[in-house]
Amino acid sequence: MKTTAFTQKHIDLGAKMVDFAGYNMPVEYFGINAEHNKVRECAGVFDVSHMGEFWVKGPNALKFLQYVTSNDVSALVPGKVQYSCMPNGKGGIVDDLLVYCIDSETYMLVPNAANIEKDWNHLCQYAPKFGLTPGKELYNASDEICQLAIQGPKVLEMLQPICDQNVTDMEYYTFKKLNVGGVSAIFSTTGYTGSGGCEIYAANEDADKLWNAVFEAGKPYDLKAVGLGARDTLRLEMGFCLYGNDIDDTTSPLEAGLGWITKFNDVKGDFVDRDYLLNQKAEGLKRKLVGFEMIDKGIPRHGYAVCDAEGNEIGHVTSGTMGPTVHKAIGMAYVNTPFNKVDTEIFINVRGRLLKAKVVKIPFYKK
């Protein structure tokens, strides 16, 4: 298994460690629900160093990214971040990712840990078309960078004393290059929890210094390290997609409710799967990813069948849990249209029992 620059910290703190995307990662420290609530109410620290980082540079960087991603990268200005995905050329999704605009000819991509190699190979396939050389204008820095996601409503005020620029007034999905606790870093107001906070990127050699500075600043807030278990329940309460569960190479961005990051305007121009997705949009979707909450008592899990009142299978659950903040059993599922409409009654096959649920708007958690 691979390790991150913080792996020993987790082991020393007594975290329950698991293999996640080939990395030895902490899934739990002091209870998933308690860790979840710590983030919702104050602040918690996730090690997300397993995520990838690719640099895209040069005069053709924008044209390249416009072609390989679904969103309109030209809408970015330096200091802004964009959520996007990479269509796979067959109607599915290679990965969802973040795009950072450093300047007009420099971008950083942040792909999912499990997809780093796949994403890299996919990008290298199209790079020559735009004059980008892998290892040069297109560079994989994933093994050189550590990343902490410090999430929660108190995070920005907590970290302000160790930052050399103002961070408390930063807008959502923006970033600054600054000094955090004596470490040169990218400080980004992004995250996967819906509770605010930041994500900090730094060189691996600065990992210990960054970790110590963050936890020193967090002492008055009783800052705690939290694991991937809470990360999953937090993102699910927000209805955020998890690659491999809710989206993958067989799901289109439109089916997944990601039409808002799939742009067909003239400025965007051509991109991978543009015609396929335009046609899918025109014909109408046969299935959609929806949120649902259980009415009958039971916990929905990934892979469970979704049925109509007669027991006919109409879809499948992609993610499910008992939401620690919303105090309900919730989930997401692909269901055939027209069962995707809000308040539609559906049934989840939980170990042979059809349990009643209903389609609801996401996010499940509302501040």
Average pLDDT estimate for 338-360: 97
What's the domain range around 345? 286-360
Q: What angle is formed at CA 201 by the lines to CA 195 and CA 205, rounded to 5 degrees? A: 140
Closest CA to 344 of 322, 366, 315: 315
Residue 31: other Cβ atoms inside 10 A: 15
Same domain, yes or no: 166 and 220? yes
Same domain, yes or no: 187 and 323? no
Same domain, yes or no: 30 and 14? yes
Please determine, for residue 307, whether its predicted confidence score (pLDDT) is greater than 90: yes
- What string of DSSP letters covers 2-38? B--TTHHHHHHTTPEEEEETTEEEEEESS-HHHHHHH
Beta bridge partners of 198: 150
- The CATH number of whichever domain residue 204 belongs to comes to 3.30.1360.120
Please determine, for residue 122, whether its predicted confidence score (pLDDT) is greater than 90: yes
pLDDT digits (tens, 9 = 90+) for 36-63: 999 999 999 999 999 999 999 999 999 9
Please determine, for residue 367, whether its predicted confidence score (pLDDT) is greater than 90: no
Please determine, for residue 331, whether its predicted confidence score (pLDDT) is greater than 90: yes
Residue 172 has a pLDDT of 98
Same domain, yes or no: 150 and 212? yes
pLDDT digits (tens, 9 = 90+) for 72-110: 999 999 999 999 999 999 999 999 999 999 999 999 999
Please determine, for residue 274, whether its predicted confidence score (pLDDT) is greater than 90: yes
Boundary (domain end) residue, out of 118, 140, 162: 140
HSE (side-chain half, CA atoms, 13 Å) at 49: 28
Residue 195 has a pLDDT of 98
Same domain, yes or no: 152 and 19? yes
Contact 225, 44 (CB under 8 A): yes
Same domain, yes or no: 330 and 349? yes
Same domain, yes or no: 150 and 229? yes
Same domain, yes or no: 152 and 207? yes
pLDDT digits (tens, 9 = 90+) for 284-300: 999 999 999 999 999 99
pLDDT digits (tens, 9 = 90+) for 212-222: 999 999 999 99
Please determine, for residue 156, whether its predicted confidence score (pLDDT) is greater than 90: yes
- For residue 221, the 8-state DSSP code is G
- The CATH number of whichever domain residue 355 belongs to comes to 2.40.30.110
Same domain, yes or no: 24 and 109? no
Determine, yes or no, domain membership for 280. no
Same domain, yes or no: 126 and 152? no
Contact 318, 333 (CB under 8 A): yes
Residue with tokens 């509302």: 366
- What CA–CA distances, in Å, run from 174 to 16, 18, 231? 33, 32, 21
Same domain, yes or no: 102 and 181? no
Please determine, for residue 229, whether its predicted confidence score (pLDDT) is greater than 90: yes
Please provide the average confidence, as pLDDT, over all residues in the chain.
98
Q: Which two tokens stand for residue 360?
A: 């609801």
Sheet with 44-47, side-by-side order of all strands: 175-180, 183-188, 197-203, 145-151, 44-47, 224-225
pTM of the model: 0.97
Total domains in the fold of the chain:
3
- The Cα 308–Cα 140 span in angstroms is 46
Residue 248 has a pLDDT of 98
Q: Work out the percent of the chain whose per-residue pLDDT is above 90.
A: 100
Same domain, yes or no: 306 and 187? no
Amino acid in the structure at residue 300: P
